[in-house]
Chains A and B, each alone.
Chain A
């Protein structure tokens, strides 16, 4: 049954693809006039019964996180969802995606993630941080704002898992989907605007769990912030429950369940309802088909959006000062305290609290140089380099402070690299 359906899907998608090529310019031109007229229009019951909601399933052919986020944003801003709901399915190459109001330095180790060749992206919706790779399927349910209903969407996913593989799952109050009462296989987030809204969720089919754990690993980095925090949950791949679960089959399973389910009542309309829908379409997200897409992609991949959009925060760290740097007669444990204020991803202010013992009889003049070299720098590896240069210059001028300045520099480097 599933195989026949899958074959049907690809036949339909091929036909649809031809239609897409023919009518794409019309279908995907920005519906700006409709978008601006939203405030005075309303869908009456009469209109609804005359024009029942039809559904489409779009499958993105891109695996680039920024292109897919741009496509999602493009559809949210420009598409007309009057009597037309769309499910967009997309997958990405390995990357980390943070929520709109999150702090990437809290949620992940940005240096490590970069060394692994992964991008960090910030999405437009709320919620927590997730790891994506091609074993994860993203589902975006687009509707008009008044028809937004997350639970209904998750119910469709849950039904698809059961119908295709007999997998039982539960939708929690937090609107995660869990299996075996414990393991999360899907997390949810949403964006609400006027006239459109979307709900999107992940689906863990066959992700690299080691890479996931490593990229989402959080240490206490001394960051004080009011950014939204992720809630960690134990996770599981669906392929661990049933080895036949594959992403390619999941596309069909969820897509068909979406098309056969009545949007208002959640009733299963079966093949009859499927025949009344618009079917599957393969989507090639380029600027030709989606005018303005490149501009959205540029904004989403910019440092300003990904890191600069971080709500302001403070980094506080303490370092125990080795005895040899303390003055004679200084007893007990002395600490060097570093505090950075970061606003819009830029280091606004640096405070160094030096214990009295760290000051020589000539005073520690390096403090001023350290602070001024960091202020105004983006909170990144670049700031460390600039700091090293400042301290190197200082230590060559005042040789007797070399040991102490090296210590301070190492502390600052630790602060920057730990995030």
Chain B
């Protein structure tokens, strides 16, 4: 278990539940999967934003479901670099069909970059919401907040339930 030192408890707990029966025969696979759970994989909010974290820097965007329901985006108003944001606070807006939809920051942190290409060409959000259509990057101040967000499969279930538009 020395290889798991320093990993967050809930990540460790989840991995343990999945792999406890096989850890002796699959130590290397265990470690690589645990690293993936902490970096790169996407988490989702109930307001249809996603965040993908790498070395404490989170890249934020909106989900495919969100871009589809908004329609063609005409304008992206993104938070300024240097802005200090709290989780679930509005930090910008996307305009489509004369409606301004608020963007909510998924986690607390400081904005370190925003996507100038999206400001210039907002339709990138429609065509590539998980890649070129990213919105801004934050340096997380409370990484624990990530654990309260949905995983990709939890988000898919959430969408299918149709509770929220």
Once the chains are docked, how many angstroms separate the CA of A228 from the CA of B93?
13
Q: Cβ of B165 < 8 Å from any Cβ of A? A: yes
On whether the beta carbons of A227 and B102 are closer than 8 Å, the reply is no
Q: Cβ of B84 < 8 Å from any Cβ of A? A: no
On whether the beta carbons of A125 and B100 are closer than 8 Å, the reply is yes
Task: Write out the residue numbers on chain A whose beta carbons fall within 8 Å of the beta carbon of B163.
Answer: 42
Interface size class of B (residues with CB under 8 A): 20 to 34
Of all chain A residues, the one with the shortest Cβ separation from B90 is A193
Of all chain A residues, the one with the shortest Cβ separation from B93 is A100
On whether the beta carbons of B74 and A145 are closer than 8 Å, the reply is no
Task: Write out the residue numbers on chain B whose beta carbons fall within 8 Å of the beta carbon of A128.
Answer: 98
On whether the beta carbons of A125 and B99 are closer than 8 Å, the reply is yes
Q: Cβ of A135 < 8 Å from any Cβ of B? A: no
CB distance from A90 to the nearest CB of B (A): 19
CB distance from A180 to the nearest CB of B (A): 23
On whether the beta carbons of A194 and B120 are closer than 8 Å, the reply is no
Q: Cβ of B95 < 8 Å from any Cβ of A? A: yes
Q: Cβ of A189 < 8 Å from any Cβ of B? A: yes
Of all chain B residues, the one with the shortest Cβ separation from A101 is B75
Q: Cβ of B101 < 8 Å from any Cβ of A? A: yes
Of all chain A residues, the one with the shortest Cβ separation from B74 is A228
On whether the beta carbons of B104 and A226 are closer than 8 Å, the reply is no
CB distance from A73 to the nearest CB of B (A): 12
Task: Write out the residue numbers on chain B whose beta carbons fall within 8 Å of the beta carbon of A13.
Answer: none
- Checking A39, A146, A192, A227 against B99 with a beta-carbon cut-off of 8 angstroms, the contacting residue is A192
Task: Write out the residue numbers on chain B whose beta carbons fall within 8 Å of the beta carbon of A39.
Answer: 46-47, 88
Of all chain B residues, the one with the shortest Cβ separation from A198 is B99
- Checking B47, B75, B90 against A226 with a beta-carbon cut-off of 8 angstroms, the contacting residue is B75
Q: Cβ of B56 < 8 Å from any Cβ of A? A: no
- Checking A101, A175, A194, A227 against B100 with a beta-carbon cut-off of 8 angstroms, the contacting residue is A101
On whether the beta carbons of A228 and B90 are closer than 8 Å, the reply is no
On whether the beta carbons of B98 and A188 are closer than 8 Å, the reply is yes
Of all chain B residues, the one with the shortest Cβ separation from A102 is B75
Once the chains are docked, how many angstroms separate the CA of A192 from the CA of B46?
15
Q: List 10 A-B contacts (CB under 8 A).
A: A101-B75, A126-B74, A126-B95, A126-B97, A148-B165, A174-B98, A194-B102, A194-B104, A228-B75, A228-B95
- Seen from chain B, the residues whose Cβ lies within 8 Å of a Cβ on chain A are 46-47, 74-75, 77, 88, 90, 93, 95-102, 104, 119-120, 163-165
- Seen from chain A, the residues whose Cβ lies within 8 Å of a Cβ on chain B are 39, 42, 99-101, 124-128, 145-146, 148, 174-175, 188-194, 226-228, 311
